[in-house]
Structure 1
Amino acid sequence: HTCMTLRGVKKPGAKTITSAVLGGFRKDPRTRSEAMSLIQG
């Protein structure tokens, strides 16, 4: 990603995680927290 290059990340295999919160997940922190818990395992 260009954003990684601009920040100076040069280590091979480096990872960047991008997220977006929309709809009910944005409006209700409890819903967002529950969803993130399920995603993270």
Structure 2
Amino acid sequence: MTKFLTEEVNSFKSRALNDKYVAVFMDATYIAIGIREDGTKGVLS
């Protein structure tokens, strides 16, 4: 299970970020959240 999760996490972290973000927020757990130009949010890392 750990191997599967490691592969999933690595895949998520290395994906292309094709959207433009007008702001990026970092929370206490270091999850970066970007806000796109249309106002929607996306998890960056």
TM-score class, shorter: under 0.3
The normalised TM-score by structure 1 is: 0.20
TM-score for both structures, normalised by structure 2: 0.19
State which structure, 1 or 2, has the greater radius of gyration over its C-alpha atoms.
1
Structure number with higher relative contact order (C-alpha < 8 Å, ≥ 6 residues apart): 2
Point out the structure with the larger helix share.
Answer: 1
